[in-house]
Structure 1
Amino acid sequence: METTWSSTEGVTVTANATGDNIENELEPKTLVILVAVLAVLAIILCVLLNPLMLLTLRRVTSIQPTTKIFMASLTLSDLCNSVCWIFASTELFAGSWLLGDFLCVVSGVTIYLFNGLVIYSLLLLTVDRYIAISHPLRYPSIMTVFRSKIIVCSTWAVTIISCVVMYGTYKTSTISQDGPHRLCLGDPYDWRGYLVVTILVVPLAAIFTLYAHIAMIARNQARRIAAENQAGNGQGGQRINTRSTTTIIIITGTVIITWIPTLIRLAIASHIKWQPYDRYLAYMFTQALILSNGWLNVIIYYLRNSDLRQGLRSLLSDWYKNLIQRL
C-alpha cells in the first residue's frame, strides 16, 4: 500500500501499488511459461523427428533425387537449429545467460545462421516444386543432381560466411544487465536489423508468389483433365482434386504463423526501444514459433506423403525386428 497527502483537499489518498506490481510481475512470468513450453516441445519434436526423416528419405526411391537433396537441406537446417536452441534455452529457464561471453557470440551467430538456412532451404524446395509442376518435361534437364548439390552447397556457404562476418565480427552479441537478469542480446537498432527484415521479406514473398502460381497451375490442370474426361465418356466430369490446393494452403499458412511474427517483432524493435527483458521475451517467443516450423515441416513434407510414410513404417519395423533378435 502507498499513502500520499493531498494538499488541495487535505485528505490522505491510499494507492494499491503492491497489487499493481504483483500484476506486472505475473504477466512476464506467464509469457515465460508459455515460451518455455512451446520451445521445449518444439526442440524435443525436432530432435526426435528430423533425424528419423533423414534416414527415411534415404530409403525411399520413388522421390526425385534432386527433390530429396532440397528436402534433406531443409530437414538438416531444422535439426541444427533445434540443437543450437538446446543451449540457448538455458537462459530462458535460468533467467540469465550462464555460458560466458564467447558462447553468447556463438549463440547469436548460429541462431541467425540456421534461421537463414531454414528459410532459404524452404525457398529452394519451393522453387524445385515450381519447376517440376510448371515444366514437367524439362525438369530433369533443368534441375540435375549436380546442379541441385551446387545450389544447396552454395546457399549454405554464403549463409555461413555472411552470418559469421555480420554477427561474429562486428558489434557481436553481448551480455547486458536488466535488473536481476543477465541477458545475451544483440543490438537491434543498427543497419543489420533492417537487413534481416529484407532478407526475410524477399524469400517469404517469393515463396508465397511461387505457391500462388503452383495453385493456379494445379487448378487449371485439374479442370482440363475433368473436361477431357467429360468429352470422352459423355458423362459429367470428375470432381477436381483439391488435395494439392489443401497442401498449398497448409504450407503457406504454416509459414505465415511461424515466420510473420518475427517480421513484426523486427519492425517494432527497429522503431521502439523496449526494455531488454521485454525485448528478450518477444525474441524468444518468435524464435519458439520458428522452431515449431521445424516439426511442422515433418508433417507437411514427410508424413503427408504416402511413400515416405511407408518408408518410415519399414524403417521402424526393421529397427523393431533387430531389437527383438538382440533380446
Structure 2
Amino acid sequence: METTWSSTEGITVTTNTTGDENEFTSTTLLIFVKVLAVLAIFLCVLLNPLMLVTLRRVTSIQPTTKIFMASLTLSDLCNSLCWILPLTELFAGSWLLGDFLCVIYIVTSYLFPGLIMFCLLILTVDRYIAISHPLRYPSIMTEFRSKIIVFSTWAAQSIICLLGFGIPGSRIVSLDTRYHICLAGFDWRQYLSFTLLVFTILSILIMYAHIAVIARNQARRIAAENQAGNGQGGQRINTRSTTTIIIITGTLIITWIPSVIRLVIDSQNQWEPYDSYLAMMFTNVLLLCNGWLNVIIYYLRNRDLRQAVRTLVSDWHQSLQQRFLH
C-alpha cells in the first residue's frame, strides 16, 4: 500500500502496490511451474522406460536389487504419466475435468510419491543387509521375497490412498468465485502423510550413516591385513553402487524438503487458498523432477548401466537404419 500527496488537488491518493506485487509474484511462479512441469514430464517419460529396459540387460547387479530398482523406476514413470491431469489445470487456469477425475488426481498425487519414498526405503534396507550381512544376504533377500515385498508395498499403498483420499469430502473443486481448483483439504490425512514422510527420511539417514561406518571399518581392516601380510597398502573397497544410492537418497531428500515446509505452513493455515495451490504445485513439480534425476544418477554413477544404455541405443539406431535402408 503506497500513499502519495497531490498538491494540485489537495488530497491523499492511495495505490495498492502490494497487491500488484503479489499478483506479479504469483504469475511468475505459475509460469515457472508450467515450464518445469512440462520439462520434467518429458524427461521422465523419455528416460524411465529406457531405464527399465536397460535393467533387464545388466547382469552385474543383484537380481533382488534390480527388482527394487525397477519398482522405483516404475513408480517414477507412473507419477509422471498421472501428471497429465494437473497439467491441464495449470494451463487452463481452472479444473475442467469434473469431480471424479479430481478424486483420481488427489489419490494418485499421494499414491505414487508415497510409493517412491517407500521404494527408496526398501532399496536402503536392501543395501544395508548386503553390506552388514554380506554372507547371509543371498539367503535373507531372495528373489521371491523381494517380489513379495514389492507387491505388498504397492498393494498396501494403493489401498490406503484409495480409502484415505478417495472418499467423498476429501477434495475441493471450487475454492472461491475466481478460481476452480482441485485441491485436497488439510486434515488428519495430511498429518499422517507428514509423519510417515519424516519417519521414512530419518530411517533412511540412520541406515546410511550405519552403512558408512561399516564401509569405513571394513576398509581399515582390509588395509591393516594387507599391510601386515605383504607390507603393501590396502585395496580400496568398491562402494560405488552404495555411493550411487546415497546420492539418489540425498536428491530425494532435497526435493522433498519444500513439501515438508509446505505441509507445516498449511497446517497453520497461513496461506490463502490460491497461494496454497501454487505452493502445492511447486513442491509437487520438485518431486516430479526426482523421477528423471534418479535416471541421470544411475547413468552417471554405474558403469555397467551406462554401457548397457549405450549398447541399447546403438542397437536401436542400427535397427532403424536397416529398416529405412530396406
TM-score normalized with structure 1 length: 0.91
Could you list the per-position Cα deviations for residues 229-281 of structure 1 after superposition, in whole angstroms to 9, with x for gaps in the alignment? 32233245567878578546523431221112111111111112421110000
Q: Counterpart of 1:12? A: 11
The residue type paired with residue 206 of structure 1 is S
How far the C-alpha of 1:97 sits from its partner, in A, is: 0.9
Q: Between 39-48 and 239-248, report the one with greater CA deviation.
A: 239-248
Task: Tell me, yes or no, if structure 1 residue 262 matches structure 2 residue 280.
Answer: no
Q: Secondary structure at the match of 1:187?
A: coil
Residue of structure 1 aligned with 2:279, choices 282, 291, 316: 282
Could you list the per-position Cα deviations for residues 163-209 of structure 1 after superposition, in whole angstroms to 9, with x for gaps in the alignment? 00011114232302334321101111x21121111121121111111
Note if contact 2:118-2:153 (Cα within 8 Å) is conserved in structure 1.
Answer: yes
Could you list the per-position Cα deviations for residues 27-83 of structure 1 after superposition, in whole angstroms to 9, with x for gaps in the alignment? 101111221222222111111000000000111122111111100100000000000
Note if contact 1:226-1:237 (Cα within 8 Å) is conserved in structure 2.
Answer: yes
Residue of structure 2 aligned with 1:101, choices 92, 99, 102: 99
Tell me the distance in 1 between the aligned counterparts of 2:238 and 2:71. Answer: 30
Q: Secondary structure at the match of 1:215?
A: helix
Tell me the distance in 2 between the aligned counterparts of 1:118 and 1:286. Answer: 15
Aligned residues: 322
Q: Secondary structure at the match of 2:174?
A: strand
How far the C-alpha of 1:310 sits from its partner, in A, is: 1.1
Q: Which contiguous aligned blocks of 4+ residues in structure 1 show a shift greater than 6 angstroms?
A: 1-5, 239-242
How far the C-alpha of 1:322 sits from its partner, in A, is: 0.7
Q: Counterpart of 1:135? A: 133
How far the C-alpha of 1:298 sits from its partner, in A, is: 1.0
How far the C-alpha of 1:155 sits from its partner, in A, is: 0.5
- Taking a change above 3 Å as real, the CA distance of residues 114 and 268 of structure 1, as seen in their structure-2 partners, is same
Note if contact 1:109-1:167 (Cα within 8 Å) is conserved in structure 2.
Answer: yes
Note if contact 2:240-2:302 (Cα within 8 Å) is conserved in structure 1.
Answer: no
- Taking a change above 3 Å as real, the CA distance of residues 248 and 165 of structure 1, as seen in their structure-2 partners, is closer
- Taking a change above 3 Å as real, the CA distance of residues 235 and 35 of structure 1, as seen in their structure-2 partners, is same
Tell me the distance in 2 between the aligned counterparts of 1:76 and 1:244. Answer: 20
- Taking a change above 3 Å as real, the CA distance of residues 61 and 316 of structure 1, as seen in their structure-2 partners, is same
**Long gaps (5+) in structure 2:** none
Residue of structure 1 aligned with 2:211, choices 209, 214, 222: 214
Note if contact 2:124-2:208 (Cα within 8 Å) is conserved in structure 1.
Answer: yes
Q: Counterpart of 1:311? A: 308
Q: Counterpart of 1:322? A: 319
Note if contact 1:56-1:308 (Cα within 8 Å) is conserved in structure 2.
Answer: yes
The residue type paired with residue 38 of structure 1 is L
How far the C-alpha of 1:136 sits from its partner, in A, is: 0.7
Tell me the distance in 2 between the aligned counterparts of 1:57 and 1:242. Answer: 20
TM alignment of 1:87-236, pairs within 5 A: 87-188=85-186, 190-236=187-233
How far the C-alpha of 1:84 sits from its partner, in A, is: 0.3
How far the C-alpha of 1:23 sits from its partner, in A, is: 1.8
